[in-house]
Every structure is written in C-alpha cells, then in structure tokens.
Structure 1
C-alpha cells in the first residue's frame, strides 16, 4: 500500500485529490497538511511514501518544505503539484531533490500513475509542465549538452519533455535496448544519475543561454 501526504492550503483541492487517488486500491492518503510546517509534523507521526507538495502556501512554502524534507534521513518521494509555475520554480524544485513536477490539472489516471512511479523512485515529469518550460527557450544546442551526439541530443530533449523510454522508441523509431544504451551514455556525459537530472541539466543550460 502506498501512503500519501497531501500538502496544499486549499481544503477542496485536497479533498478532490484524495477522492481521485484513493480510487486506486493500492493508494491511501495517510495525512493532509495546509502548509509546510504542518507537513513536517505529519511526517514525524506517519510513515509516508509519497508527498504531493504545493509550492505557494502560507506559513512555510513548498520550496522551503522540500529542503526540510530532503534533509531528513530516508525522506519520502516528493512530487511538486501546482497550478502554474515559472521555469525557475520547476528547475529549482527538481534541483532541490523533487522527484517530479505535476500540474493540478493533471488527469486522474496520470496522477495515479505518477504516484506509483514516485513510490518506485521513478522520476515524474509532466508532459505539459516540461513542454511549457521548453517553449520559453529557443536555443537548440545548449552549451551544457554540446558534448552529446545528435542522436543523444534528440533523446535528451525528449526526456526533458517527459517521454518514457518506450515513447522515445516510438518517436525516433529505435529499439528499447538502443534507447537505454543512449540514456546510459547521456548520464555518463552529463555526470548525472537519473532522468530528472538529465532534464534539469538540459533546461538549466538552455535557461542560461
């Protein structure tokens, strides 16, 4: 059973998210919080696998809360859940250790799937969030990824858009083993350890141009 903590200052939104994710028999909302300080109190009382964390909240906002959570021993997976955010907020959240970033308008099925992914330590990247972020930039070959081959750059951009390996296979007409090999090489060249860090590196480099 995946235990979830929902942190948002809007009671109606918390209730709606609870109804959605508890439609999956393998997910339960163990606790709720209106702000970061209350979230930390709930984490001290309950075992939580996944935290859905809003960014803009009173008392203690999401970024400050994220820092505090990830300073703990064996912290839960944290997925930022918000209405609209800037590219700086996305990059900052992921750089601070968030496992992903989802819009509050994420469809129910995608939200449930994302919680399962987060509980398995798999990065959660909303297509809409990352796509909107990349649309703000217009540099096709950012400096931080100039060491990548054209094919590796194609795959890096698709990872940053939130595509899975299987979706990248379909997009580029490659085999799964080939994509996995390329992803491994990309991680080595960029000196990162997972797909979220690939996306952050790409977006950060583009933002700095």
Structure 2
C-alpha cells in the first residue's frame, strides 16, 4: 500500500477550509495533519508538522499565500506549497512560481483536480492552470533563466508546437510522423522538464528559453 501524502490546509474561510480538508481526506490517498486560518499560523504549523504538501489560499489578510511560500523556502522546509485562488492571473501565478510555489490551482477546480494537483506536486511536478499557458509566456520570457536541459530535435519541435497551440495530431501532421510518435516525444519532454502536461511544459520551456 502506498504511503499517504501528508497535507496541511491553510485558508481563512472556514467553510472552504473544512470542505477542502474533507475532500482531500475522502480520497484515501491524503492525510490532513492540520488546518490553519491565516498565513502566520500556517507557517508555524508547516514548520512544526513538516507535511509533504501545504495547500494554501493565495488571498488571505496579513500574509498572502506567496508570503507563506517565501517563508517555507527561506527556512529550508521540505514542504511543497500548492496555492489555491479564485483569481488566476498570469502575473500573480508567475510571481508565486518564481518565489518557489510548487503549483497554482483555481479554487473553482473540482475535487478530483485539486487532489490530482496535490499528488503531482508531492512528486516534485509543477502544476499551473492550463488556461494560463499562453498568458504566462510574456512573464516567463521577461524572467527567463538559461538552466536548460538538452532536448532532442523532435522534443524541441513538439515543445514549440505546444507553445503555438497545436494539438498532438496537428504536430504529427506538420512533422509527417505518427501521433503515437509525437506522444512518445512529449512523454520524454515532460520527464526532462519535470512536468506532466502541455501547459506546464510550455511554462517551463519558456522559463528555460527552450521555446523559439
């Protein structure tokens, strides 16, 4: 049996916090160690319990979710922080990821999507809202870093196709190869970038200056 993912929930809205905790625990794959109702108590709880993942509301009075991320990184804590917010603005999301957030998910996401995001960030993956892939491009270009992995020619072509909004069948047609071959290159690409979907691949590819 796989070990449960330990989680702390930080949100200043009691109803949402309770519902989120119940939903995560009901999955059977996540163990909620505790709940905090503001950023300061959330940081204290994360420091004390050191959960695998902290699911943190971005918009809280006093300290924001990004402030919590900063404290976790500053103190060298092993916890990965997944931010939740009703607002998914590309500038806010990029700033949060730059601070060290493991992911950013809309509060409007369904339970399975949030559970999936928790599981993915616990494995070291980066999670971003798919609809923000294009909006993040300008932010990532402006702050790009050259720490790029070596991509094969095909992997680079697939990544650039994703950045142009092409589907796997469209990329296959453009490159005159089979869709299954494109899927294989995409899987290799995701592994090299440490992501698990197209949107995150585009975001990470732009950050590392891999997209033309």
Q: Shorter-chain TM-score category?
A: 0.7 to 0.9
**Does 1:92 find its partner at 2:95?**
yes
Native 8 Å contact 2:8 2:53 kept in 1: yes
Pair 45,150 (structure 1): closer, same or farther in 2 beyond 3 Å: closer
Task: Name the SS for the 1:15 alignment partner.
Answer: helix
Moved segments of 4+, more than 4 Å: 135-138, 142-145, 167-172, 181-184
In structure 2, the gaps of 5 or more residues are 147-152, 173-178
Secondary structure in structure 2 of the residue aligned to 1:22: helix
| 1:199 partnered with 2:206 | no
Change (3 A) 1:183 1:137: closer
After superposition, residues 27-46 of structure 1 pair within 5 angstroms as 27-46=30-49
What CA deviation, in whole Å up to 9, does each residue of 1:142-184 have, x standing for no partner?
A: 7979xx95543113466xxxxxxxx958985243432244557
For 1:59 and 1:171, the matched residues in 2 are separated by 47
Asked if 2 retains the 8 angstrom alpha-carbon contact of 1:94 and 1:200, the reply is: no
The count of aligned residue pairs is 183
Give the secondary-structure state (helix, strand or coil) at the position aligned to 1:37.
helix
Cα deviation, residue 198, structure 1: 5.1
User: Residues 74 and 37 of structure 1: is their aligned pair in 2 closer, same or farther, counting only changes over 3 Å?
Assistant: closer
Kindly state the Cα deviation for residue 67 of structure 1 after the two structures are TM-superposed.
0.6
Work out the CA distance in 2 between the residues paired with 1:89 and 1:33. Answer: 22
The within-5 A match list for 1:1-150 is 1-128=4-131, 130-131=132-133, 134=134, 150=157
Deviations 1:56-100 (A, max 9, x none): 111211111111111222421111101113211011011111111
* Structure 1 residues 25 and 32: alpha-carbon distance in aligned structure 2, compared to 1, 3 A threshold: same
Report the aligned-residue RMSD. 3.4
Contact conserved, 2:50 with 2:77, CA < 8 A, in 1?
Answer: no
